[in-house]
Structure 1
């Protein structure tokens, strides 16, 4: 394990940067995580997702600055702005002891997930974090409903937007409508999968905004502004917006801000995949943002579309798991999967081009090589055993 040095941030906290230039705390071994090359952003390997919930040690990391190290003894969360009657400041103990707690199982996905594959689809690379398929994860988030923290401040009748702000070096922030802030499943999370939040995932407290792009679920919360007017920041005017020839800009933003995510799916295999010529189970996930996935279909080569049974709960804001049985013949194959949500939205054959490479949602042609030899590939269980020494959470 490498030693770490710290750099002082503008918040008075410290942020960790290790000798390899990583700005994160937890280990990110290659057998579990995909390195995008930024030193801040790591995706989960789709073939290393062992259950419905994503274990914390492999939950993807997306950050705009190095992970801050915050002291819960001195940390506070302040609710203020022109949309409240009286500012309120909470301590870490307040969030644990003064308010009812709720637990929600929700999926968080970066709007730029699959950007590399999107670039291959349109024949040109996109700038930005070079995500494969791993900028997505599902966890049980436990904490306080955001509305319970807003109400003691007294929301004015003209209040319309709520903007959480993080305590990282760049003060990441992004507004959301008051109605979304007050939703039952918009939560200020203190715990993840039954454990106190890890530093890379927002300790001491982070927001979880159900069904929206990951950038809305601000980590390392320090301030929440309630406003009586629309709020404009880089994260809803220049970045995390849809910019394209058929998308109008306005005086405030280069394009409309991304909010709820579209329906998409993935296969729990490497890209490209190598399989044995033997009967086996192929598994995957599908997600539909605020909506509920109701159907998953698959197609092998030029064969017909067939139903892929869904084998997990079907909940708005959370992915589903599906699985199929396949006895493949040796050779080269293409596996396609498409999902449909409860609003009738089905993954299309192509994604809508936009300048920043967001919202890749088209059906992916997953390349699969099936070996004719009898050589056996390591099983998922064998990979899990081999990776155990590296899976400690910092």
Structure 2
């Protein structure tokens, strides 16, 4: 196993033990088959082919129940006190372990709102219910959601280092691509520049397929989550690029806005510059308020009000979200308060979380839109900017 990966898995399991103790839960059960649970890469760094049961224990004596063919993968991690093997079906070995542990609480991966905490499939839950007995299971089961949210959200130093490398590579690619963009290119051709730069560095897109292009939108053709099209750029166009890059399983998420100068222009028109300045101010204020103890909706409100105060429509999406192993990494979201409450925006911001901050000017009918997105680490002493901020419009000459 990659030594860096091993250290990350060890540190995440140590985190899990502390969180189990904090929540007064002795056993966390993860059931998986064919890599069905998204928490497996985070905790173990392996892919289980056959059905398996992983017992994460508050005392650090973790146990895996796995097939004969998967046994080697689990043993190679060095993460388990025991690796128990079954040959045909898992029921008997599973019950032996469960009856030996005699858990008082059994945390399971189910959630109504966070897909990254909802890894227990209906079929595996029904298997568990039939194996343990529905009455007995009902006395034991609790949701692991709070544990898993914290585990994904609060990054170890090794995780932060990987995210920082992904961010640095993203900035490097942006710096390489911008001088290559010329007026008349299509959105697809601009996206292809990013693909070429990713391949040069042996990295991939953090969202979608490995060599998908980033989001590339000419504003007059609509700002949306869409693939680049055959729309050809022309003088006076605002170009928005939103790029997530994956490095060694961890991602960045950075957006930049460009303007193609019309003949004779040396700067963008006042209405475009005003929209840009409003977005930049909203980002600054949002980052300043990104501190432990605040709730997601409180920080969202700061960025949202700054956009509205500039005279623009309210933001159609959240002001920010977490990044880590995924571009949208679950946990607390910097989103608007809702009724009924949305758990993710009610979440409390914690030190060690990394956010993509993106209060956006969004208008219809070709009016100026601005998307700039920065990546920020929350610490006990204040927010730390991990990305190199865009402070000025990127200007592209049309001749």
TM range (shorter): under 0.3
Higher fraction of strand? 1
TM-score, scaled to structure 2: 0.27
- Structure whose CA Rg is larger: 2
The structure showing larger relative contact order (alpha-carbon pairs under 8 Å, at least 6 residues apart) is: 1
TM-score, scaled to structure 1: 0.27
